[in-house]
Amino acid sequence: MCGRYASSRSPEDLVEEFEVVADRTPAPLAADYNVAPTKEVYAVVERPPSRDSPEPPERQLRVLTWGLVPSWAKDPSIGNRMINARMETVADKPAYKRAFAVRRCLLPADGYFEWYPTSRTTKAGKPVKQPFFIRPADGGVLAMAGLYEIWRDPSRAEDDPDRFRWTCTVITTDAEDSLGHIHDRMPLMVERDRWSQWLDPRVGGELSLLVPAAPGRLEAYPVSTAVGNVRNNGPELVEPLPLEDVPS
């Protein structure tokens, strides 16, 4: 699964990187080096300029909450369990089927974290887990494939600007060989030349647009165990850990 990632780029940088037409973020998010479920994150989507507009969809930068709440959900807390959607079932599973058809997004990230069980054990006999940060080897942005939903809060009035909750999930697949020894799952990427087709709500979802990172495209290195505590945040969380400090 993908349960933590880093996102430090400014909205201005993302607008340029993803050729966004409309920045719909209410306020810039602070750089976050320990993005966890239920946090607000940046997402690139394509939406009609207005509900009844005949104009084609425009590419927008929005702020969503990580943890998808289906439009039919009665309790929004279901989103806490829906941070990842498996590629193998995303087109058919009721929670994701409608979003996969028309509400696809890109979730920009610097990289993501996974934990590797070492040979050491805790006093309770459980393996000590070493976190790794996995990022594009060229230092570029990681465009993770995602889905988003818009949930209507029935307890809020029609004129309440917060009556709609925008949420998202990350699509995952089997990890490629060089990363599989760390964790068996990884986020799916959307290559730049496929962004337009992936985002366009007028085009049905195509699994062929999603690809795992090519071997050598990503690099992984150990980082401080401080990332395990969501209250910790800062660029030091993505700094490589000296080899002598890495448990075997």
Residues that are catalytic: 2, 114
Is 146:67 a contact under the CB 8 Å cutoff? no
The strand pair at 164-174 and 58-66 is best described as: parallel
97 CB burial (10 A radius; 0-12, 13-18, 19+): middle
Q: Tell me how far apart the alpha carbons of residues 221 and 205 are, in angstroms, rounded to a whole number.
A: 33
Tell me how far apart the alpha carbons of residues 164 and 137 are, in angstroms, rounded to a whole number.
Answer: 38
Question: Which amino acid, one-letter code, is at 243?
Answer: L
The neighbouring-strand residues paired with 113 are 133
Report the chain's terminal Cα–Cα distance, integer Å.
23
